[in-house]
Amino acid sequence: MKKLSLSSVKTLLFALTIALFFSACRKGSPSAPEDAVNGAGKNQMSHISALDLMSGNPILPVPTADPDILYANGKYYIYPTATGPNASQFHAYSSTDLLSWTDEGIILDLANVSWAHTDGWAPSVVARNGKFYFYYTAAKKVGVAVGTSPTGPFVDKGSALATGDGTDPIDPMVFIDDDGQAWMYWGNTTFNIQRLNSDMVSLTGTRGHNKPSNYFEAPYVLKRSGIYYLMYSINDFSSDDYHVEYATSTNPMGPWTYKGRITSPIGAIKGPGHHAVIRKPGCADEYFFVYHRRTSTNIHQRQVAIDRMFFDGAGNILPVSITTSGVINSPGTAACLVPNPVANGQYAIRSKVNTTAGGGLYLDIPGCSNNNADVRTWTKTTCNGQKWNITYQGNGYYKIISEQPSHKSLDLTSCGIDRGTDIGVFDALGNNCQLWRIEAAGGGWYRILARASNNVLDIENGSVTPGANVRSWSWNGADPQLWKFETP
């Protein structure tokens, strides 16, 4: 893969994504935009470098799909569907911070499995008893292999763990409940649920088939506040509208109450599905959503990506925003983020960038316009175009509404998810392009992220001149991306 640079702040990240990455198998500083590089060329054999201080999407250096994710020994590990001859070689990819991912090599080769040698799909990995258990599909049966580290090598138990009921018993997922009981969920069309013995390599008890509305494949279970969330993929993987929905229950075997949709295609990005979820270590409510998607018309060219997942105040999973910038660096040891660090109220939003004379620069509606308009920076005035009413929505995001009589909302122009998209004010619609996450960045300064793109408010070229354009950009921690909320 060749290293490409962005020659313009308006360069579309989609173009980079499509040019650099294809996926396959079944299942920079804002003051110097030319330095904002997708650094895949730095070590194309082992990892894809981060995009500024964000992961960028896709995140893995090879075409693959059906990822699971685990945190152990200070690293995140992603386990996708096998690559190599006839999808026979499973790899693991590791990262300390979710930015750059390193190929840890082959951790299980089906050539060494006695009962199946092809079609290695959709693994699920759990840690228990001082060991790591690698559940996977091969030859349309479910197997399990055991290792002493997250990267194996994993040794198969010597026979299939399960075939399940139905014609396509694939896609195992193992969930360990609070009481220590482990459960396995698997199956395409026919949904299988069964308890695992404490040895984690054999099943016990009655097999259940309670499935929610629309269930097709790729089950994934998590538990939050006593509620079991069963997520699953809808439609065949070849569909542009392959996506994730979910249902809930108070019992790990159901019955399940259908709740709604989590992912949807956007623009050139199709088929966002077959996912896994991880909660950031030590944090009560920070979730990352790992999944595959594609930008190619070739249905086998799929890419692994990562985005944030949020719950609303009622415990519903919010639809996941499918982005090109991905997530902000998040080492497992980093402090947890406060979901609503700024109190509701009216503020002037000041940049950390000052004029050459030392004066402050503020988020401003040009000419105090009462119409839809781009926003810029300007020195302090008494105009209502510098007064912003901020209201927390109870789901990790704020509305930011102008005090001008028309009460326009801070908005991503044309709902663009690519970095370089202009920031403006527009009629208040309350959609994802008008919802903003505010996160403390230290010293009383904050970054302001758009829900639709996960990019942050940024002063174009880091300009110190009043009137500079304000746009969205991937987070890099520079002063043009830091803001303070002051009394207007």
Report pLDDT for 412. 97
Written as six digits, the tokens of 163 are: 């075939």
Amino acid identity of 62? V
pLDDT in tens, 128-179: 999 999 999 999 999 999 999 999 999 999 999 999 899 999 999 999 999 9
Give the span between the Cα atoms of 135 and 160, in whole angstroms. 10
- Taking only the tens place, the pLDDT of each residue in 246-258 is 999 999 999 999 9
Contact 165, 207 (CB under 8 A): yes
Model confidence pLDDT, tens digit, residues 396-412? 999 999 999 999 999 99
CA dihedral 50, 51, 53, 58 (to 10 degrees): -60
Q: Which residues of 428-465 are buried (b: 16+ CB within 10 A; e: fewer)?
A: beeebbbbbbbbebeeebbbbbbbbbbbbbbbbbbbbe
Give the residue, 5 or 56, on which the prediction is more confident: 56
pLDDT for res 48: 59
H or E element in which residue 457 lies:
strand 456-459
Q: Which two tokens stand for residue 231?
A: 């997520």
Sign, Cα dihedral of 49, 51, 55, 61: negative
DSSP-assigned beta bridge partners for residue 134: 125, 145
- Report the C-alpha gap between 263 and 239 in whole angstroms: 13
Count Cβ neighbours within 10 Å for each residue of 318-350 and write b for 16 or more, e otherwise.
bbbbbbbbbbbbbbbeeeebebbebeeeebbbb
At 386, give phi and psi (nearest 5°).
-115, 10
Residue 23's pLDDT band, with cuts at 50, 70 and 90, is very low
What are the helix (H) ranges across 7-166?
Answer: 13-20
* E strands present in 6-138: 37-38, 68-72, 75-79, 89-95, 102-109, 121-128, 131-138
**Cβ atoms 161, 133 nearer than 8 A:** no
Please name the amino acid found at residue 270.
K
CA–CA separation, 466 and 488 (whole Å) = 18
Q: Tell whether the torsion through CA atoms of 202, 207, 210 and 211 is positive or negative.
A: positive
34 carries an active-site annotation: no
Token pair for 230: 């069963």
Single out the residue of 215, 130, 126, 124 nearest to residue 162, CA to CA.
124
Write phi, then psi, for 126 (nearest 5 degrees).
Answer: -135, 155
**Strand, helix or coil at 411?**
strand
d(CA 113, CA 104) in angstroms, rounded, equals 20
pTM: 0.90
pLDDT above 70: residue 269: yes
**Average pLDDT of span 202-226:** 97
**pLDDT at residue 289, as a whole number:** 98
What local confidence, expressed as pLDDT, does residue 49 receive? 60
**Residues 289 and 277 sit within 8 Å (Cβ to Cβ):** yes
Residues 6+ apart with CB under 8 A from 469: 374, 376, 422, 459, 460
Is 66 an annotated catalytic residue? Answer: yes
- Asked if pLDDT for residue 15 goes beyond 50, the answer is no
Q: What is the pLDDT of residue 1?
A: 31
Amino acid at 242: Y
Handedness of CA 462, 334, 320, 267 (dihedral sign): positive
Distance CA 222, CA 224 (A): 7
Cβ neighbour number for residue 286 with a 10 Å cutoff: 19
Residue 35 pLDDT: 28
The string of pLDDT tens digits covering residues 293-352 is 999 999 999 999 999 999 999 999 999 999 999 999 999 999 999 989 999 999 999 999
Whether the Cβ atoms of residue 137 and residue 172 lie closer than 8 Å to each other: yes
Give the C-alpha separation, 16 to 110, whole Å. Answer: 34
pLDDT digits (tens, 9 = 90+) for 90-117: 999 999 999 999 999 999 999 999 999 9
Closest to 125 measured CA to CA, from 88, 173, 180: 173
Sorted by where each starts, the structural domains of the chain and their CATH numbers stand as: 4-309 (2.115.10.20), 345-486 (2.80.10.50)
Check pLDDT > 90 for residue 25.
Answer: no
User: Can you tell me which residue has the tokens 């803001």?
Assistant: 483
Q: Which of 52, 104, 171, 217 is catalytic?
A: 217
Within 13 Å of residue 438, how many CA atoms lie on the same side as its CB?
Answer: 21
Q: Is the pLDDT of residue 18 over 80?
A: no
Q: Are 397 and 409 in contact (CB under 8 A)?
A: no
Query: Which DSSP category does 154 fall into?
Result: -
Omega cis (within 30) before 255: yes
